């Protein structure tokens, strides 16, 4: 399976490139497009926090803003990738019914093109952080690993949902709704620990664990919670494996069911 | 050279027809209902065989044309070969790199330029980027689109779109080439170019599998033919035979409400039954009929058409004799047409009709009652055979150095241009 993907790596590259190219070509804003989603998320997050601050009397600190920005950018990657990947098979139905290639490439290219947006937004954020009075610590080195975990989780959802949407066309509406409100069920605007004993309920969501770990290593300068990050990593690896298996099992039926 | 390149071994493929739950919105209530009533409701999955027990084998360099009416399983066969579909039973094998021309310009994005789409489409067809870069100039030159390379494809005409698509596909250099009905695009000049390219592939040892309704193209490109009808292989063998059988599929309606054809014969001038004739040979077409109702003063006509239905020739018995076709119910008659088949190689449907006295309507009409196969003399081409003789006379003339000075000739041509 991996061997075949390697054989078709040029196709993966070109399809990813196509998605990026179209997105940046069509929009007048160009690269600002990659910033739009995270900026909206971060903006609304800060607004919500400000509202809380008014009632609780605790002022919004620079750390809060930083936490929301980082979580927002990573969340935007997850949401964007899953959203694009869900429709990736159906919107390329002419390819699916006419040409053979490993179908995983379609959801994969959606994830990769979202990763490109993430890199653009992330670079922007990094520059802001350097100019703003931010402390950096050795714990920052955890970030790539945590991103890898998030990437696997994203892959698991993307591959599975792309396949599901092929068989059931309303899956994409469900995904839209869940992602829109998911930002509230995931600790993007707040900290999971603020919920006290209910925190584990939130952290059971692997994306939450990833976001909290990012908050730990970038903002709070401490090691991430090994248990919850471990759980998230396990979910990512197993989830990717299982949804890949399901995808492959269903693949022979794609061309005739689409 | 005789290694097996493609094999198709007792392949069966089924499809479902009818409605299918394609949304959760429909599925969930249906499941609930099923749980509630304990019995499945609605129609079960209706399945039908799109291909039944199809087998063939191609050696390297062979060419196979697959023909048949709509819905006979031609495209399904190609999709199985290109691994888009998987068979329900049986096995198939394609050896070596294959190129599938099932859709031209697959993955073309309207907002991207021609240049960008060449790369995109090329990788979709299985080429490496480095390979495309190497062949890029050849691809563009073949499509004759040098000037429009940096124009978004959405501004292309449909012909330009198809040209670019074919051009990319033609440069994949496959060992096995699978072509669906895609060549009916572009102008005449480009179609010729496509065919030349396909001939070149075959000459270079590419195995070709070609599906088309253009039987002239199939006949000229392919050596072998496979005729499918409703998923069943009806005929397998040489391509002309397959084409002839294809027409024979439509030969069945020999009866109208007023007239029944009881016998059809095609013979040579010696009275031997023949289907295949040499150009210029004499043939006798005999039709026996029986009246199922009274017929008065009707005309019996014979037709020869091309395979795409263009009329080539027709005549009627009433133009050669005063005997009119007048029959009481139950009576019989025989119409005999003698002609010289001045036709070139190909398959020609032979038709017969009985029309009413003043030609207002057909009492009986069948434009494909019989197939006529012409061999070629390999010396001349076209539709008609004009019994040609040709020779060339060379005239040796003493060259006068003063008249044919090269300089003088050039000056003269220059003057003309001015």
Q: Encode pLDDT of A165-219 as tens digits.
A: 999 888 999 999 999 999 989 999 888 888 888 888 888 899 999 999 999 998 8
As given in the structure block, the two tokens for residue A206 are 């692997």
pLDDT of B413 over the 50 cut: no
More confident residue, A202 or B40: A202
> Buried b vs exposed e over B196-227: b needs ≥16 C-beta within 10 Å?
ebbeebbeeebbbbbbbebbebbbebbebbbb
Nearest CA in chain A to B180: A98
For residue B129, give the nearest of A10, A96, A100 by CB distance: A10
Q: Which residues pair with B327 in a beta bridge?
A: B295
Tell me whether residues A169 and B21 touch, CB distance under 8 A: no
> For the segment A34-75, what is each residue's pLDDT rounded down to a tens digit?
788 888 888 999 898 888 888 887 888 888 888 999 999 999
On chain B, the residues whose CB falls within 8 A of the CB of A168 are: 21-24, 27
Tell me whether residues B103 and A98 touch, CB distance under 8 A: yes
Numbered residues of chain A with Cβ closer than 8 Å to any chain B Cβ: 10-11, 13-15, 18, 21-22, 25-26, 92, 94-101, 167-171, 174, 252, 255-257
Tell me whether residues B112 and A13 touch, CB distance under 8 A: no
On chain A, the residues whose CB falls within 8 A of the CB of B86 are: 252
Q: Compute the average pLDDT of residues A89-104.
A: 88
pLDDT of residue B405: 52
Q: Rounded distance, CA B278 to CA B374, Å? A: 6
As given in the structure block, the two tokens for residue B10 are 């007792």
pLDDT of residue B130: 93
pLDDT of B284 over the 90 cut: yes
On chain B, the residues whose CB falls within 8 A of the CB of A167 are: 22
pLDDT of residue A26: 64
pTM: 0.74
Lowest mean pLDDT, pick from B228-237, B264-273, B365-374, B392-401: B392-401
Q: Compute the average pLDDT of residues B314-339.
A: 90
On chain A, the residues whose CB falls within 8 A of the CB of B127 are: 10
pLDDT of residue B41: 44
Tell me whether residues B82 and A100 touch, CB distance under 8 A: yes
pLDDT of B84 over the 80 cut: yes
Cα–Cα distance list, A112 to A84, A106, A119, A173, A194 (Å):
10, 10, 10, 22, 33
Task: Tell me if ipTM is over 0.90.
Answer: no
On chain B, the residues whose CB falls within 8 A of the CB of A101 are: 124, 126
On chain B, the residues whose CB falls within 8 A of the CB of A91 are: none
pLDDT of B40 over the 50 cut: no
Interface test with B, best of A92, A100, A103 (most B CBs within 10 A): A100
Which among B166, B161, B183 has a CA at the least distance from the CA of B113? B161
Residues 6 or more apart whose CB falls under 8 angstroms from that of B129 comprise A10, A13, A14, B119, B122, B123
Q: Compute the average pLDDT of residues B75-100.
A: 87
Q: Rounded distance, CA A43 to CA B411, Å? A: 81
On chain B, the residues whose CB falls within 8 A of the CB of A22 are: 109, 111-112
Q: Rounded distance, CA A70 to CA A115, Å? A: 15
Cα torsion B398, B400, B403, B404 to 10°: value is 70
Lowest mean pLDDT, pick from A244-248, B266-270, B407-411: B407-411
Q: Compute the average pLDDT of residues A80-97.
A: 92
Judge whether B15 is closer than 8 Å to chain A, CB to CB: yes
On chain B, the residues whose CB falls within 8 A of the CB of A21 are: 112, 116
Tell me whether residues B124 and A11 touch, CB distance under 8 A: yes
Tell me whether residues A11 and B27 touch, CB distance under 8 A: no
Tell me whether residues A169 and B23 touch, CB distance under 8 A: yes
Judge whether B25 is closer than 8 Å to chain A, CB to CB: yes
> For the segment A137-157, what is each residue's pLDDT rounded down to a tens digit?
888 899 999 999 999 999 999
Lowest mean pLDDT, pick from B82-86, B114-118, B188-192, B275-279: B188-192
Judge whether B169 is closer than 8 Å to chain A, CB to CB: no
On chain B, the residues whose CB falls within 8 A of the CB of A95 are: 106-107, 124
Tell me whether residues A256 and B120 touch, CB distance under 8 A: no
Nearest CA in chain A to B124: A11
Tell me whether residues A10 and B85 touch, CB distance under 8 A: no
Q: Compute the average pLDDT of residues B38-61.
A: 74
For residue B111, give the nearest of A26, A99, A168 by CB distance: A26
On chain B, the residues whose CB falls within 8 A of the CB of A96 are: 84
C-alpha distance from A9 to closest chain B C-alpha (Å): 9
> For the segment B150-205, what is each residue's pLDDT rounded down to a tens digit?
999 989 988 888 888 888 888 888 888 888 876 666 677 887 888 888 888 888 88
Q: Rounded distance, CA B403 to CA A170, Å? A: 87
Interface of B with A in 44-103 (CB under 8 A): 79, 82-86, 100, 102-103
Lowest mean pLDDT, pick from B56-65, B144-153, B241-250: B241-250
Provide the 3-class DSSP secondary structure of residue B314: strand
Interface test with B, best of A168, A171, A177, A255 (most B CBs within 10 A): A168
Q: Compute the average pLDDT of residues A62-90.
A: 92
Residue B385 backbone dihedrals phi, psi, to 5 degrees: -110, 115
As given in the structure block, the two tokens for residue B64 are 């196979």
Size of interface A-B (CB pairs under 8 A): 81
Give me the sheet containing B63-67, strands edge to edge. Answer: B98-101, B176-179, B207-211, B63-67, B224-229, B232-238
pLDDT of B105 over the 80 cut: no
Q: Rounded distance, CA B146 to CA B162, Å? A: 15
Lowest mean pLDDT, pick from A78-92, B108-122, B250-264: B250-264
Tell me whether residues A170 and B23 touch, CB distance under 8 A: yes
On chain B, the residues whose CB falls within 8 A of the CB of A98 are: 84, 100, 102-103, 106
Q: Which residue has the tokens 């009075």?
A: A133
As given in the structure block, the two tokens for residue A111 are 């994830």
Lowest mean pLDDT, pick from A70-84, B309-323, B331-345: B309-323
Residues 6 or more apart whose CB falls under 8 angstroms from that of A147 comprise A74
Which among B119, B184, B117, B192 has a CA at the least distance from the CA of B151? B117
- A218, A70 Cβ separation under 8 angstroms: yes
Interface test with A, best of B107, B169, B182 (most A CBs within 10 A): B107
């Amino acid at each position: 399976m991996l061997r075949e993907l390697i054989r078709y790596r040029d196709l993966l590259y070109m399809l990813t490139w196509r998605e990026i190219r179209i997105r940046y070509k069509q929009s007048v804003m160009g690269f600002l497009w990659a910033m739009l989603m995270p900026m909206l998320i971060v903006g609304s997050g800060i607004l919500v926090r400000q509202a809380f601050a008014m009632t609780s009397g605790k002022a919004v600190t620079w750390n809060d803003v930083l936490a929301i920005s980082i979580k927002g950018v990573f969340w935007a990657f997850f949401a964007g990738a899953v959203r694009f990947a869900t429709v990736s098979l159906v919107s390329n139905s002419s390819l699916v019914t006419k040409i053979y290639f490993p179908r995983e490439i379609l959801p994969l290219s959606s994830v990769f093109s979202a990763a490109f947006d993430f890199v653009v937004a992330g670079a922007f954020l990094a520059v802001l952080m350097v100019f703003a009075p931010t402390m950096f610590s050795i714990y920052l080195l955890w970030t790539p690993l945590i991103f890898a975990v998030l990437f696997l989780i994203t892959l698991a959802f993307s591959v599975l949902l792309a396949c599901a949407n092929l068989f059931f066309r309303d899956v994409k509406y469900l995904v839209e709704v869940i992602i829109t409100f998911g930002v509230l069920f995931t600790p993007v605007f707040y900290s999971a620990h603020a919920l006290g004993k209910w925190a584990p309920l939130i952290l059971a969501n692997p994306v939450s664990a990833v976001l909290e770990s990012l908050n730990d290593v970038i903002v709070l300068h401490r090691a991430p919670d090994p248990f919850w990050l471990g759980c998230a990593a396990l979910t990512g690896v197993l989830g990717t494996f299982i949804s890949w298996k399901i995808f492959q099992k269903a693949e022979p039926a794609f061309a005739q069911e689409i | 050279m005789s290694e097996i390149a493609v094999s198709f071994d007792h392949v069966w493929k089924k499809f479902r027809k009818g409605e299918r739950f394609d949304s959760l919105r429909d599925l969930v209530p249906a499941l609930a209902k099923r749980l509630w009533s304990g019995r499945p409701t609605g129609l079960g999955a209706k399945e039908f065989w799109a291909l039944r027990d199809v087998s063939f084998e191609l050696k390297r360099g062979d060419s196979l044309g697959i023909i048949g009416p709509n819905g006979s399983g031609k495209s399904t066969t190609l999709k199985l070969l290109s691994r888009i579909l998987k068979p329900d039973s049986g096995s198939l094998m394609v050896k070596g790199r294959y190129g599938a021309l099932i859709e031209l310009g697959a993955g073309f994005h309207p907002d991207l330029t021609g240049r960008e789409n060449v790369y995109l489409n090329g990788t979709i067809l299985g080429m490496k980027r480095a390979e495309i870069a190497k062949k890029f100039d050849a691809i563009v030159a073949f499509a004759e689109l040098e000037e429009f390379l940096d124009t978004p494809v959405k501004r292309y005409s449909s012909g330009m779109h198809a040209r670019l698509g074919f051009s990319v596909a033609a440069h994949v250099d496959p060992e096995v080439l699978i072509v669906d009905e895609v060549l009916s695009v572009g102008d005449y000049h480009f179609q010729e170019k496509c065919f030349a390219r396909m001939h070149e592939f075959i000459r270079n040892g590419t195995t070709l599998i070609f599906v088309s309704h253009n039987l002239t193209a199939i006949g000229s490109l392919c050596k072998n033919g496979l005729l499918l009808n409703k998923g069943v292989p009806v005929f397998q063998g040489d391509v002309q035979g397959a084409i002839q059988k294809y027409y024979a599929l439509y030969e069945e309606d020999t009866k109208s409400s007023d007239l029944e054809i009881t016998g059809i014969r095609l013979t040579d001038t010696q009275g031997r039954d023949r289907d295949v004739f040499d150009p210029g040979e004499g043939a006798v077409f005999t039709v026996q009929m029986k009246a199922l109702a009274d017929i008065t003063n009707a005309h019996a006509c014979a037709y020869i058409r091309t395979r795409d239905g263009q009329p080539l020739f027709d005549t009627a018995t009433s133009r050669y004799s005063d005997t009119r076709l007048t029959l009481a119910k139950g009576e019989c008659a025989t119409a005999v047409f003698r002609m010289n088949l001045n036709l070139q190689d190909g398959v020609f449907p032979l038709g017969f009709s009985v029309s009413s006295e003043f030609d207002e309507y057909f009492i009986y009409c069948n434009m494909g009652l019989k197939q006529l196969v012409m061999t070629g003399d390999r010396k001349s081409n076209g539709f008609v055979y004009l019994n040609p003789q040709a020779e060339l006379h060379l005239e040796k003339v003493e060259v006068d150095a003063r008249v044919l000075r090269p300089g003088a000739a050039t000056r003269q041509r220059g003057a003309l241009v001015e």
